[in-house]
Amino acid sequence: MAAPVSTFTLSNGVKIPSVGFGCWMGEAGAGKDQELQNALKAAFEAGYRHFDTARAYGNEKEVGEAVKASGVPREEVFVTSKFWQYDHDDVARALKASEEDLGLTPDLYLMHWPMATDKDGNLRDDITFNETWRQMEDLYLAGKVRAIGVSNFSVQTLTALLKTARVVPQVNQVELHPYLPQPDLLSFCREHNILLTAYSPLGQYDSPILSDSAISAIADAHKVSTGTVLLSWGVQRGTAVVPKSGNPKRIRDNITLVNLTSDEMRTIDDLHNKEGKHLRLVKGVRGADRIFGWTHEQMGWQVR
């Protein structure tokens, strides 16, 4: 049975569950000792119907197999995938490769990062994300996918994209949590009817946000985990969330939301204004001088 979570309606009318299961397990592939397969089985049993994967995760095959093995009708499962930087020159080819591994067509297809590279990770200056987006629009307008969007785009890069777009991205997936709430980006996306989706909504690994005293106090008041509070905050402010976990209990906790009071929402909203609490939490990005070769200025990021 599907969990009783709300859905968001994208600008084209497609509905997407507000809570999804993030399929990045910290390494490319299925993970150690079938970690991903076990987690996917637990997620389906807990009622998840939204699964977020990517070509770069190296596990589209496992995700597709889990969808098939679940016995849940395909139309009741929402699958998101993304293509990597080296596929910016041929998005149709990338989509076909994902379809072959998944054994299905993703419902939502995203440009994983705005920069284009070659197979060795060297930046390419002969293709822009505007040109890549045009290929995505062609696929969407031809009915090849139900929805298209971007990931890791800022107000700056979205503004540049919209100057030439025929189709406004239906989704923008970014790092988003109380230590990085990105209110300006949220406001911009609302203005343009773009659903903002949070990856790493709980931070990563031994995330300090999970032990934040303010979050813990709210969790105690509701008799739930801090993770439940963080995800409830995300959905309540109008963003989808795609947490990941390999732990069956946390998988269940992550899809069991609570209603936060306006005072509790304001408390969480204000956390990033506290000293030392306005920061990125994703490993490999936090504190980096460059993001896959792009500067923070090129990305339009103000927070390292």
CB 105 within 8 A of CB 145: yes
The neighbouring-strand residues paired with 8 are: 16
Active site residue 179: no
Q: Which residues contact 13 (CB under 8 A, 6 or more apart)?
A: none
Ranges of beta strands (E only) in 161-201 are 171-175, 195-199
Token duo for residue 298? 């090129």
Q: One of 48, 57, 109, 179 is an active-site residue; which one?
A: 57
**DSSP letter, residue 250:** H
Token duo for residue 249? 């209990």
Q: Which residues contact 45 (CB under 8 A, 6 or more apart)?
A: none
Ranges of beta strands (E only) in the chain are 7-9, 15-17, 21-22, 50-52, 78-83, 108-111, 147-151, 171-175, 195-199, 240-242, 290-291, 294-295
Active site residues: 57
